[in-house]
């Protein structure tokens, strides 16, 4: 069990550029979550998947954000036309059906985005 891995760990980009983050969940986990966290705040829900189906996308998320999980394994989060307000840590987490209800999410180490 290698845990949840995220790539890249750090990304610096200029405003207006597109960025993509990848998340590889724990292999047997069928739920995958994306959160965004800024300094001094808790993780803010962005979206989540069960297998390849996207169950919900936060109303706070603009159309510049899109996430996919095409084969129910890894997931990508793309941000188009980045803005300085997008600077944050993007956290991916996964869970298995056996832990539903326990609230146990296994988080990756995050992808830190800095938009200049």
Partner 1 sequence: QKEVEQNSGPLSVPEGAIASLNCTYSDRGSQSFFWYRQYSGKSPELIMFIYSNGDKEDGRFTAQLNKASQYVSLLIRDSQPSDSATYLCAVIPVNRDDKIIFGKGTRLHILP
Q: Binding partner 1 by CB under 8 A: which of 48, 49, 65, 90?
A: 48
Please choose, out of 10-18, 34-42, 61-69, 75-83, the segment that lies near partner 1 by the rule CB under 8 A.
34-42
- Beta partners for 31? 50, 95
In 3D, which of 62, 36, 40 has the Cα closest to residue 48?
36
How far is residue 77's CA from residue 92's CA, in Å, rounded to a whole number?
10
By CB under 8 A, is residue 46 in contact with partner 1?
no
Site residues for partner 1 per CB under 8 A:
31, 33, 35, 40-45, 48, 55-56, 91, 95, 100-105, 107-110
């Amino acid at each position: 069990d290698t845990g949840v891995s995220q790539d890249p760990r750090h990304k610096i980009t200029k405003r207006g550029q597109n960025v993509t983050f990848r998340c590889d969940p724990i292999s047997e986990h069928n739920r995958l979550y994306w959160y965004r966290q800024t300094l001094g705040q808790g993780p803010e829900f962005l979206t989540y998947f069960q297998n390849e189906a996207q169950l919900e996308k936060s109303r706070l998320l603009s159309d510049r954000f899109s996430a996919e999980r095409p084969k129910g394994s890894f997931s990508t989060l793309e941000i188009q036309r980045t803005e300085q307000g997008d600077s944050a840590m993007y956290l991916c987490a996964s869970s298995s059906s056996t832990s539903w209800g326990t609230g146990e999410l296994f988080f990756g180490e995050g992808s830190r985005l800095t938009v200049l």
